[in-house]
């Protein structure tokens, strides 16, 4: 199953909030999401650090691992973050 990497850009008008490109492993579509449509959870390990969203195409809940670079992109783009206690 191909993985669509998380990328970040600016709103189509060139300014405004960041938009994130993601993909759904269930229906295999790619789309853009606003920061408010994503959630980031940062835990003590790679297993407990992930981002999640609801696919706008099929409605499935999606959870994907978030490495250091993804965490930087999402937090820098204003995604709401939950930090788990260690």
Please list the rounded mean pLDDT of every run of 10 residues in the chain (86 residues). 48 68 96 96 94 98 96 94 87
Q: Is residue 59 part of a domain?
A: yes
Question: How much is the pTM?
Answer: 0.79
pLDDT of residue 4: 45
pLDDT value for 30: 96
DSSP 67-85: -HHHHHHHHHTT-EEEEPP
CB 51 within 8 A of CB 38: yes
| Angle, CA 75 vertex, CA 69 and CA 81 arms, to 5° | 115
pLDDT of residue 9: 55
Residue 1 lies in a domain: no
Domain that holds residue 63: 7-83
Number of domains in the chain: 1
């Amino acid at each position: 199953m191909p993985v669509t990497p998380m990328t970040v850009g600016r709103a189509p008008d060139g300014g405004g909030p960041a938009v994130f490109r993601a993909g759904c492993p269930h229906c295999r579509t790619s789309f853009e999401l606003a920061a408010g449509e994503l959630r980031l959870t940062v835990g003590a390990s790679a297993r407990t650090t992930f981002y999640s969203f609801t696919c706008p195409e099929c409605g499935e809940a999606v959870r994907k691992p978030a490495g250091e670079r993804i965490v930087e992109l999402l937090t820098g783009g204003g995604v709401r973050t939950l930090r788990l206690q260690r």
